[in-house]
A = this chain, B = another copy of it.
Amino acid sequence: MTAENPDEARRISDMLIEKRLAACCNIFEPMQAVFWWEGAAQSERETAFIAKTTTERFAELKAAVLDAHSYDVPCIVAMPIVDGNSEFLDWIGEQTRAQS
């Protein structure tokens, strides 16, 4: 995902953690986004951030981000985890289980 700035990335990350839609989020230093706008390549500072969640929770996560984001069409893309530290992957599952 990308956000306008670190504050927006942190606001959305806190919301995802509190709603248990992500186990953890990583907010990177601001980066340079380059895109086509009004006939030329333009660039702006944006903040990239990652949310680690499960396939089951992704639809809810996407809806919550769309609702909270300042952009009309925010970048929300899901990339698969195919292997890893099984304890960490279990932890993601536990942290994102709907809390009764």
Contacts and interface: CB of A to CB of B under 8 A. Distances in A.
Given A10-B32, A24-B34, A78-B81, 6 more contacts: A10-B34, A10-B43, A24-B35, A26-B34, A79-B81, A80-B80
Copies of the chain in the assembly: 3
A35 B76 CA distance: 19
Contacts of A52: 75, 77
A33 to B, nearest CB: 6
Contacts of A65: 85
Interface of A: 2, 6, 10, 13-14, 17-18, 20, 23-36, 40-41, 43, 46, 48, 52, 58, 62, 65-66, 73-85, 87-89, 91, 95
Contacts of A79: 79-82
A49 to B, nearest CB: 8
A87 B73 contact: yes
